Structure formats: structure tokens, C-alpha cells
Structure 1
């Protein structure tokens, strides 16, 4: 199954996450198919904190990819709505 989830990077106690499309059998920081965004929890401004390539996010959801719980909450907090047909702006 294809999943859209976070891949951790950054230094110790200063995480930086990439939003990646990967096979669910791969490890958290292992191989991935495509990088479609990032999430930096230490930046206060919302515009620089989360970034998604929405067209690729829509494409992968239309292909049957499942979002992890954390990515789903990030997508919703970034004012995108998710339904079975894909993601669209609010």
C-alpha cells in the first residue's frame, strides 16, 4: 500500500520533516517514491512552516495513497479539505 507520511531529518532535538510518498513496508526514514512537501515545527509563521505540492498530493490520493494521521491533520490545518476524490482548497 502507498502511504503519504513524514520523513524525519534535522539535528537532535531540532526535527525537520519531509512529506513523502512511500510504500508502507519501508522504514520511516528509508526509501521513498516522491517528496511532495515539508513541515518545520520550529517556525512560527504558518506560510513557512508547512508546504505541500497540492497537485502531486491530489494525484497520489487519486491513485489510492493513504495519508498518515499526522499528515491528514497538517493538510486540514493548512485549509485544504480532503475527500475520496482528492484534495482541494477551501
Structure 2
């Protein structure tokens, strides 16, 4: 099952995350199918490719709870 989830990047105690499409059984920092944007938790800076995110969501990819909250805050998805 494909998931829309976060992949951790950055240095120790300075995390930033990439929004990626991955198989749910792969490890957190494994190879993604596609990268769709990034989110920095320290500066709250984010940049998402909205067209690709909606394409993957329409194909049936399930976002994790954290990703769905981030996307709702960015007004990409509505529930």
C-alpha cells in the first residue's frame, strides 16, 4: 500500500522533512517513489507541489495523520 509520508533529513537536533510517496513497508528514510515537497519544523517553512499531491491522492495514496494535518493547514486538502 502506498502512503504519503514524511522522510527525515537535516542534521542532529535540526530536523527537516521531505514529503514523499513510499510503500508503507519501507523504512522511514528509504528510497521514495517520488518527492513532492518539503517541510521545516523549526522555521515552519514548507513548499509543496500541489498538482502532484492531488494526482497521487486521486490515485488512492493514503496520507499519514501528520501529513494530512500539514496538508489541511496548507489548505491543499479539506475535510
Long gaps (5+) in structure 2: none
Cα deviation per residue 1:41-77 (whole Å; 9 max; x = unaligned)? 1115xxxx11110100011011110001111000011
| Counterpart contact for 2:50–2:76, Cα < 8 Å | no
- Which residue is 1:26 aligned to? 26
Do structure 1's residue 65 and structure 2's residue 61 form an aligned pair?
Answer: yes
Count of matched residue positions in the alignment of Structure 1 and Structure 2: 79
Q: Which has the higher contact order (CA 8 A, sep 6+)?
A: 2
> How many angstroms does 1:20 deviate by?
0.2
Instruction: With the length of structure 2 as denominator, give the TM-score of the two structures.
Output: 0.93
RMSD: 1.2
TM-score normalized by structure 1?
0.82
Q: Structure 1: any 5+ residue segments left out of the alignment?
A: 84-90
- Which structure has the larger Rg? 1
